[in-house]
Structure 1
Amino acid sequence: MFIIRPYIETDLEDIIQLWERCDLTRPWNNPEIDIFRKAAQKDDLFLVAVKDQFIIATLMGGYDGHRGWINYLAVHPNHQRNGVATALIQHLEKRLIALGCPEIQLLVQKEFIDIQNFYEQLGYDEKEVVCLAKRLIHDH
């Protein structure tokens, strides 16, 4: 079994290692800075799954008053396909509902078909939208 709890400061290095192991880090996003920015919000929507005192999964949730968001869902390869990701998502959804959040969204790169299928099994539908972005702060 595992427990789900909000992020605490001492999780930082373990989370970065997990994200690197899961190939979630990108050159344009400094994971340490992303974690510091999220922790500064103090909204308890950055969740970790812990088993035997080790972080086995993360989910960085957000809520902007209009929509909820899922970012940095990562499950250690040794713990995948055991319900950890589903439990994290369901936990976040409950927290967002309690905040009055009417809708949750996430972005998945087109080539990750397995990840898209996973979310579809949880009731998420693809929306016909164009995602536009502008980098405001260059961390590297």
Structure 2
Amino acid sequence: MIREALIADAGAVIALWHACGLTRPWNDPAQDFARALAGETSTVLLAEGEGGVAGSVMIGDDGHRGWVYYLAVAESARRTGLGRQLMAAAEDWLRARGCPKIQLMVRDTNAEALGFYAALGLEPQGVVTLGRFLKD
């Protein structure tokens, strides 16, 4: 069953993100999790398995597009369809809010993730993502 995460789920979800190699030193996953749950236009969905959190996805509606972050499936739950279920739940959540399009970013070196998303019908968008860190 997929449900919206609670603050009490933070430790288990963040541990999964770390185990799946989704975190980076410049992103604070605890802060990302807390902000997603605190916002009216974002959340974290999770799926529980026998050993605890088996998968999760963070989603948000920026008012123009729906975004997907931190899609993670525990090693023991891979190749079971859980990733597809989480993406379907994310799409349903965004669709219910009127998002016309779903977007996500994948590192160009992550061939496994790129293959997964391609199998779901997501395509490269022909844009370049630019960014910089905001300083206090």
CA RMSD of aligned residues (A): 1.5
CA distance 1:44–1:27, change in 2 (3 Å): closer
Q: Secondary structure at the residue paired with 1:95?
A: helix
What displacement does 1:53 show? Answer: 6.7
Specify which structure has the bigger relative contact order, considering alpha-carbon pairs within 8 angstroms and separated by 6 or more residues. 1
In the alignment, is the contact (CA less than 8 A) between 2:20 and 2:74 conserved in 1? Answer: yes
**Partner deviation per Cα, 1:43-67 (whole Å, 9 max, x = no partner):** 4631001123711111001111110
TM-score (norm 1): 0.91
In the alignment, is the contact (CA less than 8 A) between 2:55 and 2:83 conserved in 1? Answer: yes
CA distance 1:38–1:130, change in 2 (3 Å): same
Consecutive unaligned residues of structure 2, counting only runs of 5 or more, are none
Q: Which amino acid aligns with 2:130?
A: L
Q: Secondary structure at the residue paired with 2:38?
A: helix
Instruction: Count residues in correspondence.
Output: 136
TM-score (norm 2): 0.93
Consecutive unaligned residues of structure 1, counting only runs of 5 or more, are none
Q: Which of 25, 28, 44 in structure 1 is aligned with 2:26?
A: 28
Q: Which runs of 4 or more aligned residues in structure 1 lie more than 3 Å from their structure 2 counterparts after TM superposition?
A: 42-45
% identical aligned pairs: 38
**Partner deviation per Cα, 1:49-95 (whole Å, 9 max, x = no partner):** 11237111110011111100110001111111111110010011112
What displacement does 1:112 show? Answer: 0.9
Matches within 5 A, 1:4-83: 4-43=2-41, 45-52=43-50, 54-83=52-81
